[in-house]
Structure 1
Amino acid sequence: MASPTACSAAQSHSWKAAFSSVLAGCALVACPAFAEDTAPQTMPTAESPTPTTQSSTTDASKKKITISILYVKQDRQDEELPLSMLDLPSADDGIAGAKLGIADDNTTGRFLNQTFKLDVLNGNADDLIKGATEKIGAGDSFIIADMEPDALLKLSDALKDKHALIFNVGNPDDRLREEDCRANVLHIAPTRSMLADALAQYLVWKRWPNWLLIYGPTPEDKLLADAYRRSAKKFGGKIVQELEFKQNTGSRRADGGYEQIQQQIPSFLQNAKDHDVVIVADEKRLFADYFPFRTWVPRPIAGSAGLTASSWHPALEFWGGTQFQHRFRKLNSRMMRDIDYDAWVATRVVGEAATRKHAGDFDTLRDLIKSPGFEVAAFKGVATSFRSWNGQLREPLIIGTPKLPVSVSPQPGFLHQTSVLDTLGYDKPETKCKAYTQ
């Protein structure tokens, strides 16, 4: 997809005639990036291409540039299936979003003599590290990683002395951005703290401050529960009680399974303290969807079921999102998921940098991407950018039910001295990351 920078450059340079076809197709391809930004103050303003003479621009455009992006996806075959069959993972989760991003990059790239291609590796952590090292030698310097935390750290350490920049799209661990941060890793996926803050802001804005927190038995569930505790303290919510959900709900797909659940959930909550909302911390979605409409008293469910926070929503239509959703569905014959969106953003980051610099060499693109002024449009109403202190993408997050978006955080009234987007997650004064220049 063409970036706002590419559209503005085509309109301002003297080679308008050569770009007439771009402008004619702007309504279909490039303009949605402008349409995302609903107010002038939210338009990307950072680092437009340096004006050049007609001859130098023409010479640059004649040089063929090929940029390869590598997607590494760790096998997780031992993971339990999600509770709902609607949530069964697709084999191309994430990869599908990267493919759309490559197509969008090439839409602009073909007018600048730039070609983008995607390579994909699947396997265990060791195989991915070996394969990525070989691919870097062949020119795949930009890596989109869907890996578990320790595997991602192992990959980043193996590549620290190489021409490689890793985009984390598969893991929300805050420690990867904080005490275990790496200078060669940028994070597209939102953290648990960002997701919890986004939901907490909405609940506080609604004046539902009293929360019953239910968390599961896995380490990820406990980390997510910690994020909600932090958010409650940060924004003035109150966790009136905490309960750990350990009950065995039987064979969830067997006849009669619903009867066990229908009895267990109300009994589990029968003696809970009075509360406004039930927040369920179940990162792998193994039990959270049991809670809506089964509580002892009628209360809304939020967190991992009911009202959730996410980087994307498959029904989002704001800011040009409708045509974006249609293009993804046409290409992949399914709806876009969070990880697809995150992978798309990663490819667009590389494409945006290449468009601005009219270049393809790794050092030039990496330096621009990590510079304070770099921004990229991402169908969020504002330009997104990376935090200079830990490499996390700052972006609005969607609050929604399974079928429709409900709101977008940050919420009105939650202020920040530099960017309201930094009210979500760990701010600069709180960071424990030492790998980034602060």
Structure 2
Amino acid sequence: MRMRAPACWFPVALLAVALMAPVAAGAAVLKATLIAPGDDPRLERSRLERSYLGHPGGPLSEGLEVALEETKFELEAAGAEVALATAPAASIEAARAAAVAAEKNGAAVLLTDLPAEWTLAVADAVKLPVLNLSDASDRLRQQDCRARMFHLAPSERMRSDALAQTLVSRKWSKLLLLVGGSPQDALRAATVQASIKRYGLQVVASKPFKLSADPRERDLANPLLLTAGNNYDAVWVVDSDGEFARTLPYRTVLPRPVVGDGGLVALAWHAQFERYGAPQVSRRFAKAAKRPMTAQDWAAWMAGKALAAAAIAAPKGPNAAWAQAIARSALDGSKGTGLSFRAWDGQLRQPMLLTDGQGVIAQAPAEGVLHPRNVLDTLGADAPEKLCPNAR
């Protein structure tokens, strides 16, 4: 027998359609602009082929797009939308001009995949909140911080604290420190020393290394010479470029682990992380981008989720309201705990993953590490250590 729909079904259905139509038509749009290098040397084919741990694997716009696609239904249900634009910048002046142009065109939030100086130039050129997706410089979170700047990528101090906690948990307390010759390596080595001091480790010797095509300088990057003459539990290598660090494991005089920028590395993400729904995140990204998800991609993905959360909150008023909405966001990063932004430096609290490139070996904070309020604040500068004069 043929069943007839209840008489009340048609009015109810029409009413639902009528209610949904104005929402779609009048959706609140959050305009955001990503400013990134126009010709990024980090994305040169030779570098991408080597897959350096901790280095980007492709454009960060791909992580943003995956996040916005995932939150599309939630945005539609809230009558909100995120419109993402990209702006290439070949210089600090171009980055500043792109920021000003984006603000004039109605952008409410800027995102940057830029060096520290360029990021500061962008933040100072506009009155918009700025999401830093990639630069790990501690000074952006400390003495050079900005009240409307948020950091999705972990800081250098967070990475070194994660490694230090891991070394302490394994009782590898005596360290040989190998440091590259670039100014960036010198700054990062100072950060490593701060983490070593914070967690009571000991540097038995600190030695510089130098990669060179000059045969007379070949010994300056000889692992056997560099790792001889001392007794140590682990070798900590600081190599921003990554070329020396990736060849160091299994080439030391003593059979000891290598950590830092080679061997065991602390990262925000690794595609082989297998807990808390992480495999599904990595699969969705790999399907969309045709490559594995890196730590930088995860930071961009989290930025997309922060944008969606702000759009759904739909703050009214000046741009400061958007910054407040982002600051209050409670985010899920598929790392097993809720993530939030620190009030004193704009850094996203997050667990760190320790990986050798093949899989995730451990997580930080390490088991047994305690904090009076939030154990995630054992990674990076805690509130009593803040140097940010513009803390919220």
TM-score range, shorter chain: 0.7 to 0.9
Following superposition of structure 1 onto structure 2, how do residues 293-332 of structure 1 map, counting pairs within 5 Å?
Answer: 293-332=250-289
Of 295, 314, 320, 1:338 maps to 295
Instruction: Give the structure 2 partner of residue 218 of structure 1.
Output: 182
Instruction: Write the distance in 1 (CA, Å) between the matches of 2:307 and 2:40.
Output: 30
Instruction: Write the distance in 1 (CA, Å) between the matches of 2:327 and 2:71.
Output: 19
Instruction: Write the distance in 1 (CA, Å) between the matches of 2:195 and 2:355.
Output: 18
In the TM superposition, residue 401 of structure 1 has moved relative to its aligned partner by 0.9
Instruction: Write the distance in 2 (CA, Å) between the matches of 1:436 and 1:61.
Output: 38
**Structure 1 unpaired stretches of 5+:** 1-16, 19-54, 252-259
Q: Which moved more, 1:288-297 or 1:303-312?
A: 288-297
Against the structure 1 CA distance between its residues 249 and 402, is the aligned structure 2 distance closer, same or farther, given a 3 Å change threshold? farther
Against the structure 1 CA distance between its residues 79 and 397, is the aligned structure 2 distance closer, same or farther, given a 3 Å change threshold? closer
Q: Is the 8 A contact 2:27 2:80 kept in 1?
A: yes
Superposition CA RMSD, Å: 2.9
Q: What is the percentage of aligned positions where both structures have the same residue?
A: 28
Instruction: Write the distance in 1 (CA, Å) between the matches of 2:275 and 2:262.
Output: 23
Instruction: Give the structure 2 partner of residue 130 of structure 1.
Output: 97
In the TM superposition, residue 121 of structure 1 has moved relative to its aligned partner by 1.2
SS at match of 1:186: strand
Against the structure 1 CA distance between its residues 118 and 200, is the aligned structure 2 distance closer, same or farther, given a 3 Å change threshold? same
State yes or no: 1:74 paired with 2:41. no
**Structure 2 unpaired stretches of 5+:** 1-11
SS at match of 1:110: helix
In the TM superposition, residue 180 of structure 1 has moved relative to its aligned partner by 0.7
Against the structure 1 CA distance between its residues 112 and 361, is the aligned structure 2 distance closer, same or farther, given a 3 Å change threshold? farther
Of 155, 159, 164, 1:191 maps to 155
Aligned pair count reads 371
Against the structure 1 CA distance between its residues 109 and 78, is the aligned structure 2 distance closer, same or farther, given a 3 Å change threshold? closer
In the TM superposition, residue 424 of structure 1 has moved relative to its aligned partner by 0.6
In the TM superposition, residue 249 of structure 1 has moved relative to its aligned partner by 5.8
Instruction: Give the structure 2 partner of residue 426 of structure 1.
Output: 381
Q: Is the 8 A contact 2:43 2:58 kept in 1?
A: no
Of 372, 375, 378, 1:417 maps to 372
Instruction: Write the distance in 2 (CA, Å) between the matches of 1:127 and 1:84.
Output: 26
In the TM superposition, residue 80 of structure 1 has moved relative to its aligned partner by 10
Provide, for residues 137-182 of structure 1, a one-character-per-residue CA deviation record: whole Å limited to 9, x for no partner: 22222111011111111111111xx3x1101112111111111111
Instruction: Give the structure 2 partner of residue 149 of structure 1.
Output: 116
Against the structure 1 CA distance between its residues 78 and 327, is the aligned structure 2 distance closer, same or farther, given a 3 Å change threshold? closer
Instruction: Give the structure 1 partner of residue 61 of structure 2.
Output: 95
Following superposition of structure 1 onto structure 2, how do residues 230-379 of structure 1 map, counting pairs within 5 Å?
Answer: 230-248=194-212, 264-271=222-229, 273-357=230-314, 362-371=319-328, 374-379=329-334
Of 26, 42, 53, 1:63 maps to 26
Instruction: Write the distance in 1 (CA, Å) between the matches of 2:167 and 2:60.
Output: 30
Instruction: Write the distance in 2 (CA, Å) between the matches of 1:76 and 1:293.
Output: 35
In the TM superposition, residue 218 of structure 1 has moved relative to its aligned partner by 0.7
Against the structure 1 CA distance between its residues 250 and 119, is the aligned structure 2 distance closer, same or farther, given a 3 Å change threshold? farther
Instruction: Give the structure 1 partner of residue 347 of structure 2.
Output: 392
Q: Which moved more, 1:241-250 or 1:171-180?
A: 241-250
Instruction: Write the distance in 2 (CA, Å) between the matches of 1:222 and 1:83.
Output: 22
Against the structure 1 CA distance between its residues 400 and 102, is the aligned structure 2 distance closer, same or farther, given a 3 Å change threshold? same
Q: Which amino acid aligns with 1:270?
A: A
In the TM superposition, residue 274 of structure 1 has moved relative to its aligned partner by 0.3
Instruction: Write the distance in 1 (CA, Å) between the matches of 2:40 and 2:102.
Output: 25
Q: Is the 8 A contact 1:215 1:225 kept in 2?
A: yes
Instruction: Write the distance in 2 (CA, Å) between the matches of 1:394 and 1:303.
Output: 21
Against the structure 1 CA distance between its residues 90 and 241, is the aligned structure 2 distance closer, same or farther, given a 3 Å change threshold? closer
In the TM superposition, residue 61 of structure 1 has moved relative to its aligned partner by 7.3
Q: Is the 8 A contact 1:102 1:347 kept in 2?
A: yes
TM-score, scaled to structure 2: 0.87
Against the structure 1 CA distance between its residues 302 and 139, is the aligned structure 2 distance closer, same or farther, given a 3 Å change threshold? same
Instruction: Write the distance in 2 (CA, Å) between the matches of 1:104 and 1:218.
Output: 40
Q: Which amino acid aligns with 1:146?
A: D
